Structure 1
Amino acid sequence: MATEKTINAEGGCLCGAIRYRVSGAITESAYCHCRTCQRQSGAPAVAWFALAPSGFSYLKGEPGVYRASDRARREFCSTCGSYLVFREDDPEETLSVNTATLDDPALAPPEFHIYCESRIGWFDTADDLPRFARGPASTA
């Protein structure tokens, strides 16, 4: 599910304590319906986009960190709680940014859905994007 879109933008948390910049190629952009994202965000799905870790930098503030799995951590604002980033332990992997925290979320529209096996039954989006039970290699 690779895209050829690039981004050069800024974003941040709800209270403004943390600001970041993203630049470079977007390798994926999707909705995640997994239970971890649901619980982390308090929402039925999270829109996110991925890029090389070198394309992400904090401009202001230091994020809180929560280890939600054995391979990655989630970064958030310790003041307002805004979920900002999913960072893989492997520096060669991509870094995923919560799309809604961009100043202009329209810059990274989702292209598919993942973890639809965990989708909350009363929630669905009005689109025809590909849907996968788990990751893009599965089918829903």
Structure 2
Amino acid sequence: MSITGECFCGEVKYQINGKLRDARSCHCSRCRKAFSSQASAYALVEPSQFSWMSGKELLTSYVGQHGFGLQFCKVCGSTICGIYNGEVHGVTLGCVNGDPDIELGMHIYVGSKASWEKVPEGGAQYIEGRPD
């Protein structure tokens, strides 16, 4: 199965030769800011199955102190993927084209969701991060 995705302006494109896994929505204040939304929608990917098709030179990154970060399109600002120690860790589901054959399985950090948000039914909900 091949999954493709792209940013809002279409300049940055990627392909995944495999399946997405462990889809989640994070409701913490940091994800609200990074995704400019009430929550993130994110799924993990096997780094060896991910490749950039075009626009890799248009990416800019924000990386935190623990090696986790996000990559954005410099042109349109779309949050495209998450990285860990320089490797793609997962993708934002909003930038995936078509049906990636995955559903959000959990909502994390619902204890710090925005006061105006109502978390949808379905999927496990965790006050903080998912228990290991």
TM range (shorter): 0.7 to 0.9
Q: CA deviation at 1:106?
A: 5.5
For structure 2, the residue ranges without an aligned partner over 5 or more in a row are: none
Q: Provide the identity percentage.
A: 23
**Separation (CA, whole Å) in 2 of partners of 1:56 and 1:133:** 31
Give 1:68's aligned residue: 64
Aligned to 1:85: 81
1:1-140 map, 5 Å? 8-62=2-56, 63-89=59-85, 95-104=89-98, 107-137=101-131
Asked whether the equivalents of residues 66 and 74 of structure 1 are also in contact (C-alpha less than 8 Å), the reply is: yes
How many residue pairs match? The answer is 130
Q: Deviation digits for residues 37-80 of structure 1, max 9, x if unmatched?
A: 11111101011110211121110002111113422121010000
Evaluate the alpha carbon distance shift between residue 67 and residue 54 of structure 1 in structure 2; reply closer, same or farther with a 3 A threshold: same
Aligned to 1:4: none
Q: What is the rounded CA distance, in whole Å, between the counterparts of 1:130 and 1:71 in structure 2?
A: 27
8 Å contact 2:21–2:102 — kept in the other structure?
no
Cα distance in 1 for residues equivalent to 2:84 and 2:16:
16
Contact 1:37 1:46 in 2 (8 A): yes
Query: Given the superposition, is the C-alpha separation of residues 71 and 133 from structure 1 closer, same or farther in structure 2, using an over 3 Å criterion?
Result: farther
Q: CA deviation at 1:125?
A: 3.3
Q: Separation in 2 of the partners of 1:80 and 1:99?
A: 17
Which residue identity lines up with residue 102 of structure 2 in the other structure? A
Cα distance, 1:87 vs structure 2? 0.9
Give, as a single letter, the amino acid of the residue that structure 2 aligns with 1:110. Answer: L
Tell me the secondary structure at the aligned position of residue 107 of structure 1. coil
Structure 1 spans left out of the alignment, 5+ residues: 1-6
CA contact 2:108–2:130 (8 Å) conserved in 1: yes
Deviation at 1:122, TM superposition (A): 1.1
CA RMSD of aligned residues (A): 2.0
Residues 20 and 77 from structure 1, CA distance in 2 versus in 1: closer, same or farther, beyond 3 angstroms?
same
